[in-house]
Chains A and B, each alone.
Chain A
Amino acid sequence: DQQVKQNSPSLSVQEGRISILNCDYTNSMFDYFLWYKKYPAEGPTFLISISSIKDKNEDGRFTVFLNKSAKHLSLHIVPSQPGDSAVYFCAASESYAQGAQKLVFGQGTRLTINP
């Protein structure tokens, strides 16, 4: 049973446009959400996170939106750049701030930015 789902395996966006990556979850106890970016032959690197007490968090070109009633989060990248081409994973956890270690990941979405 996949508790965190990224239903789009791939996404292609033109350089300069907005990229929107989506993630759905089923566990209403999740209280912390993270996005990671992964290049080939490297480990995932942290991008941005959001706590369940917020509905939006911004960091430069990256914004994460959380809709708790729909159990949905999205990552917006504006403007998209060629270096953003990578696989993006969303992840979720219960009681993360209290030291929980069980981070549940989605399957990933491969983003390609076309020049």
Chain B
Amino acid sequence: NAGVTQTPKFQVLKTGQSMTLQCAQDMNHEYMSWYRQDPGMGLRLIHYSVGAGITDQGEVPNGYNVSRSTTEDFPLRLLSAAPSQTSVYFCASRRGGNSPLHFGNGTRLTVT
């Protein structure tokens, strides 16, 4: 099992560019989510999905889009990158009940 796989590991964008952060899991988890980690702020929820075709907003959704066409994949799209989106992004998934979140290794994004 690869678990949760995120690509790319690093990315540098110019302000206004768009890109997609990829996330895939091979554990057949129904729940997937995206977090960003910023210094002194812990991890904050951007968007989440409770199953294929179903997504919803988290705490900091502005500037990001998501879709969930399959159980395995949950890409995060930055529509027009801004320096405030410089962060480390983590994708996570879990089963139902009290199962814990499993995280990928993150994508470090810098917007100049």
Contact = CB atoms under 8 A, between A and B. Distances in A.
A26 interface: no
Contacts of A42: 105-106
Given A41-B105, A101-B48, A4 B43 contact: no
A110 B64 CA distance: 30
B44 A105 contact: yes
Contact of A32 (B4, B48, B98): B98
B42 A89 contact: yes
Contacts, number: 61
A90 to B, nearest CB: 9
B33 to A, nearest CB: 6
A39 B104 CA distance: 12
Contact-size category for A: 20 to 34
A70 interface: no
B16 interface: no
B99 to A, nearest CB: 9
A41 B10 CA distance: 11
A106 B40 CA distance: 9
A45 interface: yes
Nearest to B103: A43
B40 A103 contact: no
A62 interface: no
B98 A97 contact: yes
A106 B42 contact: yes
23 contacts: A6-B42, A32-B98, A34-B101, A36-B103, A41-B106, A43-B90, A43-B103, A43-B106, A44-B90, A46-B101, A51-B98, A91-B43, A99-B50, A101-B45, A101-B48, A101-B56, A101-B58, A103-B101, A104-B45, A105-B35, A105-B43, A106-B42, A107-B40
